[in-house]
């Protein structure tokens, strides 16, 4: 008998938390793998739950009833619904990781500004040449996308005595000073991407856009990898225009993550897809630079956010079971650009 819900991409700590909140009358099964890695031919339950790295097979469109994505972004769900015309119910979690992702952005910002990677590598020789960093007080930080996560970053930056240049087409917060994207990027010492991804803003931080920023600007992306093409970032790093890059998200992240987990990066480099090969080649080349920091899409991952995510996921599930609706449904219209 199939379980009521199947959880994909549930790493150990998350699976344990989900089980704590799951009512005894709801059956469930779990896997740390993506849908692709499990090689399930059919949906293993009428309700499935994923994060962002699973690719839902097109032929599943009429074989399951609902999906809960355990993520704040939902572009992967709207893309699937558009592609298949599916009538599935879909829910997401807009509120669980605002603080954790904002703090990861701060972690990456500080690590870049103080050249942490190089400091660590030079401990064995105890040399300080090339290690001079910068203080962030009074620096201009452009936060592009001031939604729930971006607003947490605004509060953190203010507490650190930084000058906040907020960018968003929706001016949601009365206590925030908003700037045009062009003005903010031109003045910024640090640029942080915290936008929602749509079909209209892919490759937003491309070579031409970031070339307009100050020489030495730091760029951080904790939103979606599609915003910042790795080949463009690599070119800007090699030209010494960008002073540093920190990424928690990557273009072509789904196949890249699976290949890295299997330690079979050659699998992705050998696919008959020249664009994908180019993207992955640029990511790997960028990773080797000493002023670049990569983390494995882990900004959400704190004890507190895992608890909130698990509790809110089960709240979604219980509400759907009793009413046929989600508390936080995926919006039906892709009508926003930044936020």
Q: What is the pLDDT of residues 107-132, one digit of tens each?
A: 999 999 999 999 999 999 999 999 99
**For residue 219, how far is the Cα from the chain centroid?**
15
Q: Residue 65 in contact with residue 89, Cβ under 8 Å?
A: yes
Q: Which two tokens stand for residue 124?
A: 């064995």
Angle (deg, nearest 10), helices 98-113 and 148-159 = 50
261/283 Cα distance (integer angstroms): 16
Q: Residue 255 in contact with residue 225, Cβ under 8 Å?
A: no
Does residue 10 have a pLDDT over 60? yes
Q: Which is nearest to 297 in space by CA: 115, 74, 44, 51? A: 51
CATH number for the segment(s) 5-94+304-323? 3.40.50.720
| pLDDT at position 334 | 43
9/187 Cα distance (integer angstroms): 40
Q: Quote the CATH superfamily of domain 98-247+249-294.
A: NAD(P)-binding Rossmann-like Domain (3.40.50.720)
Does residue 272 have a pLDDT over 70? no
Sheet of strand 5-7, all strands in order from the earlier edge strand to the far edge:
28-30, 5-7, 47-50, 66-69, 89-91
Over residues 189-208, the mean pLDDT reads 95
| pLDDT at position 332 | 75
Does residue 317 have a pLDDT over 90? yes
| pLDDT at position 339 | 34
Do 5-94+304-323 and 98-247+249-294 come out as alike in CATH topology?
Answer: yes
Q: Residue 47 in contact with residue 5, Cβ under 8 Å?
A: yes
For the chain, the domains span 5-94+304-323, 98-247+249-294
């Amino acid at each position: 008998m199939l379980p009521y819900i199947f959880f994909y991409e549930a790493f150990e700590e998350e699976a344990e938390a989900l089980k704590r909140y799951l009512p005894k009358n709801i059956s469930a099964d779990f896997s740390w793998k993506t849908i692709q890695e499990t090689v399930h031919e059919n949906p293993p339950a009428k309700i499935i739950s994923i994060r962002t790295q699973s690719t839902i097979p097109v032929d599943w469109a009429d074989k399951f009833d609902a999906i809960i994505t355990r993520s704040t972004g939902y572009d992967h769900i709207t893309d699937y619904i558009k592609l298949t015309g599916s009538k599935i119910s879909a829910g997401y979690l807009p509120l669980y990781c605002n603080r954790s992702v904002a703090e990861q952005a701060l972690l990456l910002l500080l690590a870049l500004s103080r050249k942490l990677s190089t400091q660590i590598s030079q401990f064995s020789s105890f040399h300080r040449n090339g290690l001079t960093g910068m203080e962030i007080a009074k620096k201009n930080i452009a936060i592009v996308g001031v939604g729930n996560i971006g607003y947490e970053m605004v509060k953190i930056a203010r507490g650190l005595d930084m000058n906040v240049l907020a960018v968003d087409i929706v001016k949601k917060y009365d206590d925030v000073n908003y700037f045009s994207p062009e003005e903010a990027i031109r003045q910024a010492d640090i640029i942080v991407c915290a936008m929602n991804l749509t079909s209209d803003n892919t490759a937003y931080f491309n070579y031409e856009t970031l070339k307009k920023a100050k020489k030495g600007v730091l760029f951080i992306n904790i939103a979606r990898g599609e915003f910042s093409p790795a080949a463009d970032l690599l070119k800007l790093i090699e030209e010494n225009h960008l002073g540093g890059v920190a990424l928690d998200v990557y273009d072509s992240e789904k196949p890249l993550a699976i290949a890295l987990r299997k330690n079979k990066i050659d699998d992705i480099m050998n696919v008959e897809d020249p664009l994908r090969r180019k993207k992955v080649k640029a990511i790997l080349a960028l990773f080797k630079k000493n002023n670049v920091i990569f983390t494995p899409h882990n900004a959400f991952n704190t004890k507190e956010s895992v608890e909130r995510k698990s509790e809110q996921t089960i709240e979604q599930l219980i509400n759907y079971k009793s009413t046929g609706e989600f508390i936080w449904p995926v919006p039906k219209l892709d009508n926003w650009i930044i936020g």
